[in-house]
A = this chain, B = another copy of it.
C-alpha cells in the first residue's frame, strides 16, 4: 500500500521541526559546543526524590493511579497545584495535559477553524508555531521590544485584520523570559495589553514555562493573575503552566487555568485525543508538591543556572563587537542576539558549525513569510561554563 497519495492536505504540508533537522546536521561534529537546544540540564533533575515518590505512589496508590483517570486531570494534583500557586479556583477552571504543547493544541482546536487568524509574538516558540500549522490557522507575528509587545504595532495589525472582515481568535504570548527572545513584559505593558485585549474581546493564551526561573529582579504577576485580580475577574486569559523546566519534561505534565466553559471543551478534546495524561506521573507531581519539595527544588535550579547566564552575558560583553546586541534576561534559559542588518544567521550557522559552535538562526522562530534573518537564539542551560566561554569566543570570531 502506498500511503503518500492518501495523506490529508494538512499532513502533506506540515513542516517538520526545523530545529531537529538543524541539530541533526551538526550531530557528528566532534568537539562542537551547542547553544542550540532548549533542553533543561539533566543535572537539575531531582531524580532521587522522584524515584522515591514514584516507587511509593505505585506501591501505595497503584490500584488508583494505574487505572483510567479523569480526562480533566487528577483531582489531587489540581488541588495541590492551586495551593502552590495561591489560587482558590473551582476545579472546573483547571485541566491537566500531556505537556504545554498539548494544552495549546486543545486550546487551538477548541477555538479555531482552518483559515482563522491568530496572533503571536515575533519571534515566537517554534514548537508552538508548528502546532499552529497543524491547526491550519493563519498566524500573524507582532514585534516586541524590551518591555513586551509593541502596542502600536498590535493595534495597527488588529485594525488591518478586522478591516478585512476577519476575526482574530486569540493572541499567543510567552510573557516571562520569552522563548526565543529572552525578554519579559514590564508590569505597565502587561496592564496595557490586558486592557486592550479585554476591550477588543481578544483572548490571550499565556505560555508560562519559565516564570519561576528568575535569577534576579522582582517577580511579576502573570497575565492570568492580573486579569483576575485587577480586571474584575476577567477570563480573557488562559494560562498554560508547565513542569518541563522545573521538574522534568520526560514526565509530560502541564496545567491549564482558564474560563470554565472553555476548559470544559478542552477536556472534551482530551477525551478524544489522549483520554487522560499519565495518571502515575500526575500523582507523583501532586505528592512532590504536597511534601513541599517544589520551592526548595526551584531554588536549587536557580542557583545552578544563574552562573551560566552570568557567564554567557560576561563572555558576550568581552568578545562581541559593538555592532552585535543581545537581550539581558533575568531568568529563563535563552537569550537573543541581533546582528548587523547585513548578516544572515542562516549563513552564519554553517560557518559556525565549521568553527565548532552552534545556535538556532532567528529565522526559524517566525511564521512562514515573516522571517527576519539577522538574529539568533542562544541557550545557556545546557553547555558548561567552560564551554560557554569557548563557544562565545568561537562565535565572536565570525562576527568581528
Contact = CB atoms under 8 A, between A and B. Distances in A.
Interface in A41-71: 42-43, 45, 47-48, 50-52, 54-59, 62-69
Interface string A1-25: 1111011111100101100000000
A259 interface: yes
A280 B252 CA distance: 9
A90 to B, nearest CB: 15
Contact of A281 (B55, B109, B262, B278): B278
Given A67-B248, A250-B66, A277-B252, A261 B3 contact: yes
Contact of A42 (B45, B67, B198): B67
Interface in A323-379: none
A27 interface: no
B250 A279 contact: yes
Number of copies: 2
**Main DSSP-derived SS at the A contact region:** helix
Given A55-B51, A109-B11, A281-B278, A273 B134 contact: yes
A6 B54 contact: no
B250 A101 contact: no
A276 B252 contact: yes
B45 A273 contact: no
Interface stretch (A125-133, A149-157, A182-190): A125-133
B52 A66 contact: no
Contacts of A17: 271
A110 B250 contact: no
Contact of A203 (B6, B8, B134, B276): B6
B62 A1 contact: no
A244 B68 CA distance: 8
A98 B274 contact: yes
A322 to B, nearest CB: 37
Interface in A249-284: 249-252, 259, 261-262, 265, 268-269, 271-281
Interface string A159-176: 000000000010000000
A105 B281 CA distance: 22
Given A1-B203, A113-B8, A235-B1, A250 B280 contact: yes
Interface string A107-126: 00111110000000000000
Contact of A68 (B56, B113, B250, B278): B250
Given A1-B259, A47-B63, A251-B66, A6 B276 contact: no
A179 B356 CA distance: 56
Nearest to A45: B66
Nearest to A128: B272
B54 A58 contact: yes
A183 B58 CA distance: 34
Contact of A59 (B51, B101, B235): B51
A45 B235 CA distance: 41
A229 to B, nearest CB: 16
A54 B51 CA distance: 7
Contacts of A99: 274-275
Given A10-B109, A102-B274, A278-B280, 14 more contacts: A1-B236, A3-B203, A3-B261, A7-B110, A11-B110, A17-B271, A51-B56, A67-B250, A127-B275, A131-B273, A250-B276, A251-B278, A277-B278, A280-B281
7 contacts: A6-B169, A40-B67, A51-B58, A66-B250, A66-B251, A99-B275, A101-B273
| 8 closest Cβ pairs, A-B complex | A47-B62, A66-B248, A55-B55, A250-B279, A42-B63, A51-B59, A51-B58, A54-B54
